Amino acid sequence: MQEGAKHDDLTRQRVESLLARMTLDEKIGQMTQVRHFDDITPEDIKSKYIGSVIHTQGPLPGRDAAEWQDKFTEFQKLALSTRLGIPLLFGVDAVHGQNTYEGATIFPHNIGLGASRNADLVEKAAAITAIESRATGFNWVFSPCVAIPYNEKWGRVYEAFSESTEITTELTRASVRGHQGGADNHRVMATAKHFIGDGATDFGVEGGSSSLNRKEVYQRLLPPYQAAIEEGVGSVMASFNKLDGISMHAHKALITDTLKGTMKFNGIVVSDWKAYSRFGGTDIINAGIDMVMAVDGDLDSFRDGVRNGVLSGVIPQERIDDAVRRILRQKFRWGLFDRPFPDKALIGQIGTSAHRAVARQAVRESLVLLKNEGNVLPLRKETRLAVVGEFGNSSGLQSGGWTVNWQGTLENYRGATTILDGIRSIATGEVVYDPDGSVPQDNLDVAVIVVGETPYAEFFGDIGGEMNKYQLTLPERHQRYLTAYREKGIKTVVVLISGRPLVVTPQLEQSDAFVAAWLPGSEGGGIADVLFGEYDFSGKLPHSWPKAEEDYQGKYGPNFWDGSIVPLFPIGYGLNYGTSQARKN
């Protein structure tokens, strides 16, 4: 018997031995994921046999990484002190770096990585995220998001790589390899999410309904999940949306029959937030959900409901055993029984210069040049210029949602470099910072006008949704920045910070150069590198670019595959210094 087969056989034996000794309450405990501090007391870990702890928005585990590790070590010791000593999985929404920890390396969001088309770079970014997640005490990340966005009104477009199934599939493979492929103390369990149709809801509504037929789902949405499974992804997260009129959390045909059956996924299917009370109670267990985020008051109702469901025969015992078997298999696979505690030696790797250099490269390669009239770019180092707009000097604004806080931050955060910082580090001429576009000076050669969307996450970012805070066009004050400098006769370079393509057709026409910079993360200096020509533009649009708000009158945006909407720029468009000069000359 080969070594791998021997290991798999030993794991099966260990799993079955544990399973045979477990009570129903212990099995339900393994299926339970809670949020630390808010849902449980430390003693609950022992008495309720908790299987996993999630950290997200809320009280921090400590003041620094050492205290975070100490807190999770305390929890782990409580889990190991139970009758069977089954260790905890610690999960975190590390979607573009270990973004819940201030001081970590923050990469461009996935939409920017999709613009880079660089699978090797995506793998490196995921590997660094894994190391910095392990350094703060985690062994499970809820990444990558492998959605295929159909409508820029959706508030999570930036979490996905591209509207292209092929690009998304390739980068999904790379991300899973990066997260899961390192040394034992460097790797984390990855999560492909959200299964399935999260980005393909009608009119881009977060958690809405999708009217795609099953053939379209299989052809356009399933391939990234198949790729993730082939790479050995440890978990898949169910989606908030409905398909076939059925909540995906309760969609047995797709979760059990397709994902676990046809696609042969043998990992954990984890619910999304508060799914038990939101999407059908015991129905989600029977559909194939293995681990449930029993948060925000769901813990007792989940435990009681599943116990009563099994005792009454509503939930088959074999469904519970399948769920627990999958959870235990991953805990053995990730070495938690042998190495349950975080490694203090990793703390020094958080936010290192080497990690930040990779993130800066990712920023450079994510930038897409949409216009460069008169070859205003690259900037000369001696140019007298202004950096205009509050986005030009805010690492929080440039990073988007899921950065330090769930909804992001408007402030600068520790260790990050703003766009203004980057420009000042390269420029030798005068650099004026004009945060509100109110003081255009006559003696300037160029204005770098940084505009965009304030941070958001999930349904808060839906356009026309219940929050109704965002729009497909630039805020009026940002449009005025460009007008003020144009009226002075100053050359204008617009840098757009956004989580999706926006309708900026008038601004494209008014500007001399226009750069789609997406949400670059902590390394704003990467933008300056390319603006000054130290590196060329190489990014290509990961989405079709809309020409008008009318492009969104139907269910989907300009990427809809029937060709009924003609975009301003097609997917794959992107100039560089050579092509933009050739176009002009």
Among all residues, which ones are annotated catalytic?
272, 458
3-state secondary structure of 333: helix
Burial class of residue 507 (count of CB atoms within 10 Å of its CB; 0-12, 13-18, 19+): buried
CB-side neighbour CA atoms (13 Å) of 314: 11
- What secondary structure, in 3-state letters, does 155-186 show? CCHHHCCCCCHHHHHHHHHHHHHHHHCCCCCC
Q: Any idea which residue has 């295929």 for tokens?
A: 148
Q: Are 161 and 168 in contact (CB under 8 A)?
A: yes
- What secondary structure, in 3-state letters, does 538-576 show? CCCCCCCECCCHHHHCCCCCCCCCCCCCCCCECCCCCEC
Q: From CA 247, how far away is CA 233, in angstroms rounded?
A: 23
DSSP 60-108: -S-SSHHHHHHHHHHHHHHHHTSSS-PPPEEEE--SSSSTTSTTS--PP
Q: From CA 267, how far away is CA 229, in angstroms rounded?
A: 9
If you count them, how many residues does the chain have? 585
Please give the backbone phi and psi of residue 499, each rounded to the nearest 5 degrees, phi first: -95, 10
Tell me whether strands 513-518 and 368-372 are parallel, antiparallel or unpaired: antiparallel
Q: Any idea which residue has 């940084």 for tokens?
A: 450
Q: 35 vs 26, 296, 328, 579, CA distance in Å? A: 18, 8, 20, 51
Q: From CA 452, how far away is CA 436, in angstroms rounded?
A: 13
Query: Which DSSP letter does residue 380 get?
Result: P
Q: From CA 576, how far away is CA 540, in angstroms rounded?
A: 10
3-state secondary structure of 328: helix
DSSP 188-235: -B-EEEEETTTT--GGG-TT-EE---HHHIIIIISHHHHHHHHTT-SE
